[in-house]
């Protein structure tokens, strides 16, 4: 006879009078606890009768084979202790049998995450993080952590959150851009997985005010080289999820098809031409909007693909211009259907070129002097990208709303919990 001790939460209770079944949940799964009047201790029976969903209990007992139980075994309790009681009814049904709207679910997130399907999303996300680290380290990238309280904008001034910082005003970082570029001097290849903040006031299904980005930067890489790193990373993640996360994927009814490489590279100009061809009024030099891409019928844009060679006007100051085409850059957006999940490119690495570009864009050279000094101290040619982790999860799991892939999303109207 094997005696075990398990502690966990009441997931379900079935009281048939002479026999009581409890499904006990812990982080590894669910096990049935069975008490019967015939053989069971009366006191345990009384306790079991009173149990409610999510009461925290500890059971000691013997394990028996039982074909009808969820995983083929059940525990016959010898002792049962109630470690904490839960209120009844709970504000959210953790089994998911009674449906609740997204707002309610997010307000009660830990209860929502008991639901096996929702739980699976974050197990997969954790695995995506592990696989990303594994892949990038194997490629010679060093993991770094850069400051999140900063003094200047990197991705355009309008989206910064100010924070009082003693005598001055500082800002929350929008990206690790300048640091990761500088760190190519000592390390050549770096990556960071960090949380960033953007004060974008609009409330959409793909924007949050706090999001996680996977960033890389690599010396002596072209934009084509770093696009390869991105597509190989995505293929690695898909392959390994299929091998290690079958159960979670099954819960979410997902059959992951490994994307084919190379991902299509579609030129910005070509997309513009196509859009004009279907009657979209859009000027060269404008950003391409999601709505535009939705109406584009092109088999190359049905999965992951890159939109390459963007005009300088819509890209940030550090992006390198094409040598053979004025006004255009060696840059890309990584797309999944109409959703942008990443962007990157080659960077300017020569001091004079960078100053010229910054002046042209009306940026203050003085604000960036701590950064600019390195362009005179051996800045190598380099390239990199940032991929939004939460958006990457949307593409893998097929969610239309970014909030489904973030534990506690922060948006225009959501600051708690």
SS3 assignment, position 46: helix
Q: Which is nearer to ligand AMO, 146 or 175 (CB)?
A: 175
**Six-digit token pair at 75?**
């525990």
The interface region with ligand AMO, picked from 42-50, 279-287, 369-377, 387-395 by CB under 6 A, is 387-395
Answer for which of 94, 116, 388, 409 binds ligand AMO (CB under 6 A) is 388
Name the segment binding ligand AMO (CB under 6 A); options: 100-108, 126-134, 270-278, 338-346: 338-346
Angle CA(408)–CA(412)–CA(414) in degrees, nearest 5? 35
Q: Does 198 participate in binding ligand AMO (rule CB under 6 A)?
A: yes
**Cβ at position 180, least distance to ligand AMO in Å:** 7
Residues forming beta bridges with residue 362, ordered by sequence position: none
In the complex with ligand AMO, the residue whose CB is nearer, 4 or 158, is 158
Mention every residue, 6+ apart, whose C-beta is less than 8 A from residue 10.
22, 23, 24, 25, 51, 52, 53, 54, 55, 57, 86
Phi then psi for residue 31, to 5 deg, are -135, 145
Among 55, 74, 231, 340, binds ligand AMO (CB under 6 A): 340
Q: Which two tokens stand for residue 112?
A: 């929502």
CB of 315 to ligand AMO, least distance (A): 9
Q: Is 385 in the site for ligand AMO (CB under 6 A)?
A: yes
Binding-residue pattern over the window 135 to 164 for ligand AMO, x denoting contact by CB under 6 A = --------------------x---------
31 vs 383 by CB, closer to ligand AMO:
383
Q: Please identify, using beta-carbon distances, which residue of 34 and 316 lies nearer to ligand AMO.
A: 316
Output the CA–CA distances (angstroms, integers) from residue 128 to 131, 195, 242, in the order listed.
Answer: 5, 16, 11
Q: Which of 45, 94, 342, 409 binds ligand AMO (CB under 6 A)?
A: 342
* Site membership for ligand AMO, residue 177 (CB under 6 A): yes
116 lines the binding site for ligand AMO (CB under 6 A): no
Q: CB of residue 278 vs ligand AMO: minimum separation in angstroms?
A: 25
Minimum Å distance from CB 384 to ligand AMO? 5
Q: Using CB under 6 A, which of the segments 50-58, 137-145, 289-297, 335-343 binds ligand AMO?
A: 335-343
Binding status of residue 343 toward ligand AMO by CB under 6 A: yes
Pairing of strands 210-219, 189-197: antiparallel
Determine if 175 is a binding residue for ligand AMO (CB under 6 A): yes
**Phi and psi, residue 237, nearest 5°:** -60, -50
The rounded distance, in Å, linking the Cα atoms of 82 and 180 is: 51
CB of 185 to ligand AMO, least distance (A): 17
C-alpha angle 141-146-149 in degrees, rounded to nearest 5: 160
Distance CA 142, CA 129 (A): 15
Beta bridge partners of 315: none
- Which ranges in 202-350 belong to alpha helices (H)? 223-244, 246-251, 268-277, 290-294
Beta strands in 155-274 (DSSP E): 162-165, 168-172, 189-197, 210-219, 265-267
Number of residues this chain uses to bind ligand AMO (CB under 6 A):
21
When binding is defined by CB under 6 A, the residue of 20, 344, 354, 397 that contacts ligand AMO is 344
346: which 2 tokens? Answer: 């080659």
Residues that bind ligand AMO (CB under 6 A): 155, 175, 177, 198, 200, 207-208, 211, 213, 215, 340-344, 384-386, 388, 390-391
């Amino acid at each position: 006879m094997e005696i075990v001790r398990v502690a966990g939460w009441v997931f379900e209770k079935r009281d048939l009078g002479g026999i009581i079944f409890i499904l006990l949940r812990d982080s590894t799964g669910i096990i049935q606890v069975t008490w019967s009047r015939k053989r069971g201790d009366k006191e345990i029976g009384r306790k079991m009768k009173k149990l409610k969903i999510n009461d925290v209990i500890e059971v000691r007992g013997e394990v028996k084979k039982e074909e009808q139980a969820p995983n083929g075994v059940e525990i016959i309790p010898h002792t049962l202790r109630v470690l904490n009681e839960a209120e009844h009814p709970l504000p959210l049904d953790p089994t998911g049998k009674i449906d609740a709207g997204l707002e309610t679910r997010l307000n009660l997130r830990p209860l929502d995450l008991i639901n096996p399907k929702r739980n699976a999303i974050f197990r997969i996300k954790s695995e995506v993080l592990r696989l990303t680290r594994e892949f990038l380290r194997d490629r010679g990238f060093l993991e770094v952590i850069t400051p999140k309280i900063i003094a200047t904008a990197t991705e355009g001034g309008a989206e910064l959150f100010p924070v009082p910082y003693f005598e001055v005003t500082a800002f929350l970082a929008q990206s690790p851009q300048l640091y990761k570029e500088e760190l190519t001097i000592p390390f050549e290849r770096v990556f960071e997985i960090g949380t960033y903040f953007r004060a974008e006031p609009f409330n959409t299904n793909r924007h949050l005010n706090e999001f996680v980005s996977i960033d890389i930067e690599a010396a002596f890489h072209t934009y084509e080289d770093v696009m390869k790193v991105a597509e190989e990373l995505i293929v690695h993640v898909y392959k390994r999820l299929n091998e290690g996360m079958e159960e979670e994927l099954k819960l979410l009814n997902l059959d992951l098809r490994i994307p084919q490489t190379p991902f299509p590279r579609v030129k910005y100009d070509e997309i513009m031409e196509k859009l004009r061809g279907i009657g979209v009024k859009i000027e060269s030099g404008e950003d391409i909007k999601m709505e535009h891409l939705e109406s584009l019928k092109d088999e190359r844009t049905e999965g992951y693909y890159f939109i390459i060679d963007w005009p300088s006007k819509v890209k940030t100051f550090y992006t390198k211009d094409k040598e053979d085409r004025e006004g255009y850059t060696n840059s890309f957006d990584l797309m999944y259907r109409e959703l942008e999940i990443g962007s990157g490119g080659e960077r300017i690495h020569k001091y004079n070129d960078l100053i010229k570009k910054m002046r042209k864009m009306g940026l203050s050279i003085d604000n960036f002097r701590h950064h600019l000094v390195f362009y005179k101290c051996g800045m190598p040619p380099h390239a990199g990208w940032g991929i939004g982790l939460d958006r990457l999860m949307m593409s893998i799991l097929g969610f239309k709303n970014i909030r489904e892939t973030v534990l506690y999303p922060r948006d225009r109207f959501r600051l708690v919990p």
